[in-house]
Amino acid sequence: MSEETTAQPESPERRTFLGTATSLLMAGGLAAGYGGFAAVVGRYLYPAKPEKKGWLYAADAASMKAGDSFTYRTPTGATVAIARQGDSGEADDFIALSSTCPHLGCQVHWEGPNNRFFCPCHNGVFDPQGKGTGGPPSEAGQALPRYPLKIENGLLFIEVPLEKLDGGSAANEACGHKHPGAC
């Protein structure tokens, strides 16, 4: 580091010390300032939340008996098998499992009499809790993903990923370009 042009009558040690100290200070300040800015940028680029989730109405709890099941479609289009497996009247009676088989993505269905979920593609079998008990999922130790459920005022709610209504989705365009009467 040359300081010839601004040479001042100071002792060499002091000069070296001052030079090192201010260099450190400068480096620290620059790192702090621009580092802070980089942190802001990182936070900006990182998705705010992985996905928006919400509790949505799924069914009237009383309308299902133990052993009943139905297919629920989440707003994002995923299918969920919701089955009632008990009569206590609690949310624990119900189970909501993704209908997508973890093996190769086929749709499973609930077999009440056999007390199991069954995937017709490769005879995958899952127990009522979604654990793989037969076929490829059992071998790979896979299970059906579960969705949280709760009961409020006798109504069953499911927590699922949400999709935005006004996101300029294909939904709005499906009708928009056609004659309104054609919808």
Partner 1 sequence: MGVVANFIRERIPVSGDQLRELTNEPVPNHLRRWWFCLGGTPAYLFVVQIVTGILLAFYYEPSPKAAYESVHYITDEAAFGWYLRSVHKWGATLMIAAVILHQMRVFFTGAYRKPRELNWMVGMCLLICTLVTGFTGYSLVYEQLSYWGATVGANITDTVPVIGVYLKKLMLGGEVYNERTLPRFFMLHAAVLPVSIVLLLGVHITLLRLQGVTEFQFEDEPEDGPKHFNFFPDHLYSELIIGLVLMILLSVLATVLPSTMGPKADPLTTPEVIKPEWFFYVTFRWLKLFSGTAAVLSMGFIAFTMFVWPFIDGLVRRWWPKSEFSVFAGIFAVIAIVGLTTWEALVKH
Partner 2 sequence: MKLTTKKSIIGALGLLFLCSLVLVQWMEVARRSEEAGLKEPHITVPATSVACVNCHAQTTAGIIDHWKGSTHARKGVGCVECHQAQKEDADAFNHYGQLIATVVTPMDCGRCHQKEFKEFTLSHHSKAGNILASLDNFLAETVEGSRVNFNPHSPTPGMTPVVEKVNGMASAFSGCQQCHGSKVALKSSDGGAITLDDLKPGPDGKPTNADAVAKIAKDSNGKPILTANTWPNTGIGRINLDGSRGSCSACHSRHDFSPRRARQPENCGKCHLGPDHPQKEIYEESKHGVAFRDLKDKMNLDAEKWVLGKDYSQAPTCATCHMSGNMRNGGKVTHDPGERISWTNRPPVSVLMDTDKDHKIVNETDPEKRRALIADTWQDKRARMMDGCTTCHTSGYVNNFYRQYDDLVILYNEKFAKPGLSIMKSLRDNGMITKTEFDDKIEWTWFLLWHHEGRRARHGAAMMAPDYTHWHGMFEVAQRFYTEFLPEARELAAHSAKDGKAAQAKAVNDVIDAILARDEHKWFKEGAEGQTEMIRKAMQERYGTGGPVAKSEEKSEAKTEAEPKK
Which residues contribute to the site for partner 2 (CB under 8 A)? 1, 3, 6, 8, 18-19, 22-23, 25-37, 40, 52, 54-58, 60, 63, 72-75, 77, 153-155, 157, 162-165, 171-172, 174-176, 180, 183
Which residues in the 61-120 window bind partner 1 by CB under 8 A?
Answer: none
Full strand arrangement of the beta sheet holding 149-152: 53-60, 155-161, 149-152
**Cβ partners under 8 Å of residue 110, min gap 6:** 69, 81, 83, 116, 117, 118
CB of 33 to partner 1, least distance (A): 6
For tokens 């949505």, the residue is 56
Binding flags for partner 1, 13-42, as an x/- string (CB under 8 A): ----------------xx--x---x--xx-
Distance (Å, whole) CA 16 – CA 35:
27
One of 12, 48, 114, 170 touching partner 1 (CB under 8 A): 48
Q: Where are the alpha helices (DSSP H) in the chain?
A: 12-45, 135-140, 170-176
Distance (Å, whole) CA 152 – CA 150:
7
Residue 165 touching partner 1 (CB under 8 A): no
Site for partner 1, rule CB under 8 A = 1-2, 5-6, 29-30, 33, 37, 40-41, 43-46, 48, 166-168
